[in-house]
Structure 1
Amino acid sequence: MYCAMFLILMGCVGSKNLIEKNSYFSKQNYIAKHNGEVMPVGYQYFKKDSFKVLSWNVAHFVDSFDDPYIDSKRENQPDSLMGNKVASLVVALRRIDAAVVVLQEFESAKFLRSLANEHLQDMGYKYFADVPSHGWYMNVVMMSKFPLGIIYGYGNVTTPVLGASIASGATETQNTLNTRMWSIDVYPSPNYNFLLTGVHLKAGRGERNVAMRKGQINFLKQQFKRFLKEDKNKNILVLGDFNSVQGSEEINLFLQEKNKREKFIDPLPDSAMTHTSDAPKRRLDYVLINTNMYKEYKVGSAKVSSLFSPLKMREISDHLPVTINFTIK
């Protein structure tokens, strides 16, 4: 019995990643050797020295197909301007030409893939991802020209409504909004990758809504701490609709973190406003970079764009798009 146990233990200690035994997967074929990820067959990395990331809340961007599991009439009833919205979004995506696109209030990655296949076939968007809600129809979705890795979905996570309590005196909690937060590994080059987190945090003013957002952000910060424990050099980018104004408690949770490694930087100019799109007077949308990834940030590239007339921008969304550029190592 002892001999058998010894052999089992020896087998565990000596076991290798199975793909290491396949001669095809030479060193350059790995994306993330430690977890067994490899490059897609035939994929060629971009021969550029930088890449652009876009974040945009595109406001109720839905298709006309009914999802029988979503109990909302608006889910399969686009408004009368939807045709114009699609056409304008396509033009905008072509003009911006971002390598990585993250959209909020978009129905699904399936819809985005369909749109890209029909209207953006020549732009290189091959990879799509989301973590859709089981009960709501506006999600955070992405498409990328770069290969993607593990996606971390937070929809099953319960977060506290900090400072709010229920009748029993216990702290209130919620887990209905957290599908609108996820993280995913992105691989722009053989020697460089980053963790992208897309968010659409709880909307609304007032203490309770602030408390919900703070609970969501507190969870994300703990996740980032976990990722940094695994890899102290982890590059992290957090972007989306934070529903939080500049200088708010919520945003300061990222920007005023005392631990330098866990601190985030807001590279947008203080004057950059994103809402409303036709007369922007406040910032609700952000691209936040951790101190590791800031080293690759192309200084001055973070900006808010108004691609069309104010009227046409408002036809697409009540938010303006935000873009940022990074160098590729």
Structure 2
Amino acid sequence: MKRILIYLTTALFIGQASAQEFRPGMLYTPDHTPGDTLKIMAYNTENLTDLKDNLYINNRMEDSQDKKKEEKAALLVKVIKAANADIVMISEFETVAYLRELSQKNELGYKYFASSESQTWYQNTMIMSKVPIGTFRTYGSVYSPIVGEKDEQGKQAMQININSRMWIAEVWPTAGQRLYLCGVHLKAGRNKSDTATRIGQTALLKGEFERIVKEDKKACILMAGDFNSTPESDEFKMLQQGSKRARFIDPLAGTSVYSHPAGNPRWRIDHMVFNKNLSAKIVPGSTGPAYILSKEEMTEMSDHLPVVTKILLH
């Protein structure tokens, strides 16, 4: 029986490939000129929607014609300009079409866009990049277990409702370096079922990371986004287990650096974690939550702080 590989989740790989070696799945745009570092920002924008009503989604937040939405979008543009990241990973944003419109209208300089969007909900995840994007994998059709819970028939409980909020994008900052950016917005909530759902999502992703490093022993992985999990949680600790190349390093472990809520951060649920292969490429001290603008403006923009990092390319 053949095994079907499903590549899931925000993770980032940097794999080396010869510029002369063009293999299936490789994509590179010659007109891109890489710098010495790659700056990445992951940001939960807290229910940012446009003024266009999606007739297939019946929700007060999405249906609203409140002009304050445009004010918030303008503030997001200001954050993105100030951050000047090469790649921006976005969650709780309605559509990639709207993100592309904002980028083009405000001349933000992003050329490549991809998204994973729910058919029934307005909180979506996406990526915009100044470097070329290759294959983009989404997981909205994948069921994951609600660990420890049973359904009405006494079988393992499963869910598919929010797995569209996990994706993996191949990114090619240079012809010789491949990155797999994995973006996530895991299940929110603090009750037992919420935790069980996040554990199921994390287990699903861990399986994918193990498969990836098995195929490529030099694979560098970075996972980023809103985990809705603190460093002390069982699901976060799962990421630090497994084979040595698939274990994740938390660069802020043991610190009192927090990301939420933006106005008065008291816990860290927004993360950027990476495996050992990638650790040598991370610019020291570059990873963590950041006030891109003033504290007042960041609080107005979102209840989350963005998380940033810098990766050495040469």
Structure 2 match to 1:92: 79
Higher mean displacement: 146-155 or 262-271: 262-271
SS at match of 1:292: helix
Among candidates 253, 263, 266, match of residue 250 of structure 2: 266
Tell me by how many angstroms 1:78 deviates: 5.4
Structure 1 moving runs of 4+ over 6 Å: none
Among candidates 199, 208, 216, match of residue 201 of structure 2: 216
SS at match of 2:245: helix
Structure 1 match to 2:295: 310
Amino acid at match of 1:34: R
Q: Contact 1:55–1:321 (CA<8 Å) still a contact in 2?
A: yes
Amino acid at match of 1:45: T
Distance 1:171 1:66, change over 3 A: same
Structure 1 match to 2:32: 44
Instruction: Count how many residue pairs are aligned between Structure 1 and Structure 2.
Output: 296
Consecutive unaligned residues of structure 1, counting only runs of 5 or more, are 1-26
Q: Contact 2:115–2:125 (CA<8 Å) still a contact in 1?
A: yes
Q: How does 1:97-108 map to 2 (within 5 A)?
A: 97-108=84-95
- CA distance in structure 2 between the aligned counterparts of 1:145 and 1:176, rounded to whole angstroms: 31
Among candidates 173, 179, 185, match of residue 188 of structure 1: 173
Amino acid at match of 1:261: R
Distance 1:179 1:36, change over 3 A: closer
Amino acid at match of 2:282: Y
Among the aligned pairs, what percent are the same residue? 35
**Which one has the largest radius of gyration?**
1
Distance 1:320 1:36, change over 3 A: closer
- CA distance in structure 2 between the aligned counterparts of 1:78 and 1:43, rounded to whole angstroms: 40
Q: Contact 1:63–1:76 (CA<8 Å) still a contact in 2?
A: no
SS at match of 1:94: helix
**What CA RMSD, in Å, does the superposition of the two structures yield over aligned residues?**
1.7
- CA distance in structure 2 between the aligned counterparts of 1:38 and 1:181, rounded to whole angstroms: 22
Deviations 1:245-283 (A, max 9, x none): 12110110102x142111001123622101100000001
- CA distance in structure 2 between the aligned counterparts of 1:259 and 1:80, rounded to whole angstroms: 50
SS at match of 1:113: helix
Q: How does 1:1-329 map to 2 (within 5 A)?
A: 28=19, 33-35=22-24, 37-40=26-29, 43-46=31-34, 48-77=35-64, 79-119=66-106, 121=107, 123-255=108-240, 257-268=241-252, 270-329=255-314
Tell me by how many angstroms 1:244 deviates: 0.6
Amino acid at match of 1:315: E
Amino acid at match of 1:181: M
Q: Contact 2:259–2:289 (CA<8 Å) still a contact in 1?
A: yes
Tell me by how many angstroms 1:68 deviates: 2.1
Consecutive unaligned residues of structure 2, counting only runs of 5 or more, are 1-17
Distance 1:210 1:112, change over 3 A: same
Higher mean displacement: 66-75 or 275-284: 66-75
SS at match of 1:308: coil
Tell me by how many angstroms 1:317 deviates: 0.5
- CA distance in structure 1 between the aligned counterparts of 2:244 and 2:125, rounded to whole angstroms: 28
- CA distance in structure 2 between the aligned counterparts of 1:243 and 1:39, rounded to whole angstroms: 34
Amino acid at match of 1:303: G
Amino acid at match of 1:118: K
Tell me by how many angstroms 1:74 deviates: 2.1
Distance 1:223 1:107, change over 3 A: same
